[in-house]
Chains A and B, each alone.
Chain A
Amino acid sequence: GDSVTQMEGPVTLSEEAFLTINCTYTATGYPSLFWYVQYPGEGLQLLLKATKADDKGSNKGFEATYRKETTSFHLEKGSVQVSDSAVYFCALRSNGQNFVFGPGTRLSVLP
């Protein structure tokens, strides 16, 4: 079945550091790919998405490119802020309506 693998956390960075959170997937067909973010005490919210190969999703300084050849959707940000501290989930939606989520990566940004 479909699956999503994310790098293990927690990830701890200093403010203004470069962020990469790796995500790879296994799916049949051509899934849509997502990054969701969960701030402390809240539900998940969509950060960005890409629906076809080579698409780049971007939002709030975060970017991720849909790489079909490597089945990856790595999340990047050039300069993180303390307010980016959260748990980040990579997810996919293949044929049908069910989403598959990765285990999440906790990011802590220190001032």
Chain B
Amino acid sequence: NAGVTQTPKFRVLKTGQSMTLLCAQDMNHEYMYWYRQDPGMGLRLIHYSVGEGTTAKGEVPDGYNVSRLKKQNFLLGLESAAPSQTSVYFCASSYPTSGPSTDTQYFGPGTRLTVL
């Protein structure tokens, strides 16, 4: 049981390049989330998904796209990276389909992205 995993752990991009961050969870969670963490600002929600095939915008969705083609995976895409997207990105999942812990988020280890 690996929990929530993220790929890659580190990445450096040039302005205008594109990339996809992969999040995978093996806990059968319905809900998945992408956050960015910037100094002094805590975590801000980018996009989230309440189930396979669904996505929704969070607090700071501009410049990002997401897809949830499989229940266990949630992809975050940057089509044209900008320096303002330099951040640490965290994926999380929650709300298992059964069991007592339906109100807790489980986080991945993060991806540190630098856009030059």
**Neighbouring A residues of B50 by C-beta, 8 Å:** 97
B93 to nearest A CB, angstroms? Answer: 11
Instruction: Find out whether the CB atom of A103 lies under 8 angstroms from the CB atom of B40.
Output: yes
The answer for the CA separation of A46 and B107 in the assembled complex, in Å, is 9
B67 to nearest A CB, angstroms? Answer: 18
B33 to nearest A CB, angstroms? Answer: 8
Instruction: Find out whether the CB atom of A43 lies under 8 angstroms from the CB atom of B110.
Output: yes
Instruction: Find out whether the CB atom of B107 lies under 8 angstroms from the CB atom of A97.
Output: no
Give the interface residue-count category, chain B. 20 to 34
With both beta carbons as reference points, the residue of chain B lying nearest to A34 in the complex is identified as B104
The answer for the CA separation of A44 and B105 in the assembled complex, in Å, is 9
Partner of A46, one of B43, B45, B104: B104
Interface residues of A in 38-59 (CB under 8 A from B): 42-46, 49, 51
Instruction: Find out whether the CB atom of A101 lies under 8 angstroms from the CB atom of B42.
Output: yes
Interface of chain A, main secondary structure = strand
B111 to nearest A CB, angstroms? Answer: 10
Partner of A49, one of B58, B92, B104, B109: B104
Instruction: Find out whether the CB atom of B45 lies under 8 angstroms from the CB atom of A104.
Output: no
With both beta carbons as reference points, the residue of chain A lying nearest to B43 in the complex is identified as A101
Q: A32-B103, A46-B105 are in contact. Are A103 and B95 (CB under 8 A)?
A: no
The answer for the CA separation of A104 and B110 in the assembled complex, in Å, is 16
The answer for the CA separation of A42 and B58 in the assembled complex, in Å, is 23
B31 at interface by CB-CB < 8 Å = yes
**Neighbouring B residues of A102 by C-beta, 8 Å:** 42
**Neighbouring B residues of A73 by C-beta, 8 Å:** none
**Neighbouring B residues of A98 by C-beta, 8 Å:** 45, 48, 58
Instruction: Find out whether the CB atom of A97 lies under 8 angstroms from the CB atom of B31.
Output: yes
Instruction: Find out whether the CB atom of B105 lies under 8 angstroms from the CB atom of A103.
Output: no
The answer for the CA separation of A89 and B42 in the assembled complex, in Å, is 8
Instruction: Find out whether the CB atom of A44 lies under 8 angstroms from the CB atom of B90.
Output: yes
> Knowing that A97-B31, A103-B41, A104-B42 are A-B contacts, what are 11 other residue pairs whose CB atoms are under 8 Å apart, sorted by A's residue number?
A34-B104, A44-B107, A46-B104, A46-B106, A49-B103, A49-B104, A97-B94, A98-B48, A99-B45, A101-B35, A103-B40
